[in-house]
Amino acid sequence: MPKALYPRLEHLNFHLDVLSEMAKGVASDLYEAECGVTLRELRVLRFVDMQPGISLGPLIALTYLEQTLVSKLVTALAKRGLLTRSTGTVDARVIHLHVTKEGQAVVRKSDRIGKEFDQQLMSVLSPDEKEVLFRCIRKLTEHVEEGGAWTRPPSARMD
């Protein structure tokens, strides 16, 4: 096996990041052209559609986006009529989000585009390879979520 030209760039995180950025770029262009929303706007719409009435805190956690960015996206989507915000009846500080009919149409159309995109992206993999890929991604995700000393900087570890 030939020696890597840039061995420090052979880390799994780097490869996953490169693939993710490339795929997100293509997908974002498709969604913007066909649905008029960015990939991040679509992420917010999809989670609000899946959990009508969700408030900002849980939405931020689900989207893995920064709080200020989610707030800006929600404001932009509300101004465009794709979602609505309502004040909580129990706690007026809580804002509940709902996707409008127009927003639902965007989500449905984007789901069809996303399914086709996934099929095209993974068309180079056999059914067995797809199964192994998803199993490995789930396993790695669970491993990172579980944490452990290895996930903290050495100075924060209690050995």
CATH 1.10.10.10 fits 11-146, yes or no: yes
Rounded to 10°, the helix 39-50/101-121 angle is 120
Do 75 and 108 contact (CB within 8 A), yes or no?
no
pLDDT at 101 over 70: yes
Q: What is the mean pLDDT of the chain?
A: 91
Where is pLDDT greater, at 107 or 94?
Answer: 107
Share of the chain above pLDDT 70, in %: 93
Q: What is the pTM of this model?
A: 0.82
pLDDT at 58 over 60: yes
Measure the CA dihedral 30/36/39/40, to 10°.
Answer: 170
Distance, first Cα to last Cα, the chain: 37
Where is pLDDT greater, at 113 or 3?
Answer: 113
Least confident of 5-19, 50-64, 91-105: 5-19
Q: Which whole number is the average pLDDT over 32-44?
A: 96
Please report which confidence band the pLDDT of residue 7 belongs to, taking 50, 70 and 90 as the band edges: low
Q: Where are the domains of the chain?
A: 11-146
Residues contacting residue 46 through CB under 8 Å, at least 6 positions apart: 107, 110
